[in-house]
Amino acid sequence: QVIKMVRTIKSNASGVDSISAYFLKLGIEHSVYAFTDIINASITYNKFPERWKKALVKPLPKVANPIVATDYRPISLLPAFSKILEKLVAKQMIEYLKATGYLDNLQSAYKQSHSTITALLNVTDDIYEALENSELTFLVLLDYSKAFDCANHKLILAKLQAAGFKNDSLSWITSYLSGRSQKVVAGSVESDWESVANGVPQGSVLGPLLFTILVSDISDAIKRGRYHLYADDTQLYYKCKVEDANSTIAHINSDLKNIFDYSKRNCLKLNASKSKFIVIGSRPNLKKLKNTVLDEIKLGQDVIEREYAVKNLGIVFDEYFSWHKHVNLITAKAYGKLQHVFRFKNFLSQKAKWSLSETYILSQFNYGDIILQGLSNQLVQKIQKVQNSCIRFTFGLRKYDHITATRKNNKIISMEDRRLFHSLCLMFKITKKIAPIYLCNRISYRNSLHNHNTRHRNDIITPFARSRIRSLSFFIFITNRFNQLSNYIDIAGISLNTFRTKCFNYLRENET
């Protein structure tokens, strides 16, 4: 188990002991027994090793020419050894929290098969439903000021005790949190060591999980709206008709007052200047809304400003739910990266070029692509042109050469089919119940309606859509495609890996 955990460490940065994860991986088979003894001793005596509590903080510039402190992002580096112990403890804690159901079902952080994307999919499906019903959605994104740094140790321990953790476990967590110190390292200049009295360790494995436990009961403060959580990211959303906008704002302000008071009790500070809200709706309804003077949405005494496009867990939402701004952003980044690698084309093999294209350029289209259902043809083509450029770069094609034959000969599926592939794989997980419960609960089967042994009795029921935009949402559009796919692939009894292989081959042979 220890060796397996060591191999899951992704970062190769070294902490105060100057031992990187790379060297740890190289030598773990020779040191695993000694390391296991240290881990067992830590858990037996409820003591976290003192040497593993020291962190190096390295400021990395966020802008090209940093001038002030806010132009830097502090990166906290802990010993690689400490992360193995944390991973093992975190695994046990998560298993316990899952078994007891202590964490909110709508908290998507630190749970198997959950992610930022499953969280966004849950929220976006509700927004599509509101659009179909000619409703507006007020989406409020809350921001905490230095959330992890403000976490109060006594409150964390109290929440853990309420969750059923015993005294030995609480003693170990107390040791883990206390007695920590850090120093700043900038080039050859180092600060003195400073003690850290509050907060969860930055750059740690357990820190974010402990913060999640600290705010595990925040949903008790939300009485009027829907919500979704991802660690310290909290989003609230409220549906209403245009004429009910201000009464809905009253409900929002009521919930925000509760959350503000809750945060204060838990020693957390909400940042109104970085919190934001957006009103999502159809063009006619948003035009009609302009005739209404909206009341202020307030957090404490501060006003939250209305935005017309917001970045939500890495995906840009615009007020029309069109995804134009998001696609424009990621395609611009992709072309910038392609321009960078193009300078080295004469020094790279064909294999290296395609590897760079996939991992450095096209991979950014993978994140959240399942959210982007119902893209306009213009946006679909815009994304496809990036892949076309990568294929030209890799295989030495000229600017106006057709690339379809080259793409198919090299078993490369189009970007549209790539998005469909990711969506179908998630739907497979949902049908096998290896996805979040909030997604699994969104589907039902024909066999729940009758017991007749018909050909399609195991198909998923496609929700009825009265509008085009709703018909292109994930749980309608992908349900239809998944049911079609089940005519060609026997889904029952196969593993996810087998499904992925068969699904990819099907899409390659039946290109849309």
Task: Tell me the C-alpha distance between 162 and 148, whole Å.
Answer: 21
Q: How far apart are alpha carbons 269 and 233 in whole angstroms?
A: 13
Q: Which pTM value belongs to this model?
A: 0.91
* Closest CA relative to residue 176, chosen from 194, 151, 201: 201
pLDDT tens track, the chain, 512 positions: 788 888 888 777 888 988 888 888 888 888 889 889 999 999 999 999 999 999 999 999 988 888 888 888 899 999 988 999 999 999 999 999 999 999 999 999 989 899 999 999 999 999 999 999 999 999 999 999 989 999 999 999 999 999 999 999 999 999 999 999 999 998 889 999 999 999 999 989 999 999 999 999 999 999 999 999 999 999 999 999 999 999 999 999 999 999 999 999 999 999 999 999 999 999 999 999 999 999 999 999 999 999 999 999 999 999 999 999 999 999 999 999 999 999 999 999 999 999 999 999 999 999 999 999 889 999 999 999 999 999 999 999 998 889 999 999 999 999 999 999 999 999 999 999 999 999 999 999 876 544 555 555 568 998 888 888 888 889 999 999 999 998 899 888 899 999 999 999 999 998 86
What distance separates the 2 farthest-apart alpha carbons in the chain? 76
197 HSE (CA, 13 A, CB side):
0
Q: Could you give all domains of the chain from N- to C-terminal order, each with its CATH number?
A: 2-104+153-197 (no CATH), 116-147+213-318 (3.30.70), 324-412 (no CATH), 430-509 (no CATH)
For residue 208, which amino acid is it?
P
Taking each helix axis from N to C end, the angle separating 377-395 and 415-431, rounded to the nearest 10 degrees, works out to 110
What is the enclosing helix (H) or strand (E) of 226?
Answer: strand 226-230
> CA Rg, the chain, in Å?
25
| Burial of 453 (C-beta count, 10 Å sphere; 0-12/13-18/19+) | exposed
Amino acid at 407: R
Cβ partners under 8 Å of residue 423, min gap 6: 369, 370, 373, 474, 478, 481
pLDDT of 371 reads: 95
For 175, the 3-state DSSP assignment is helix
Residue 464: CA count within 13 A, CB half-sphere: 2
* Amino acid found at 310: V
* pLDDT score for 393: 96
Given this model, what pLDDT does residue 90 score? Answer: 94
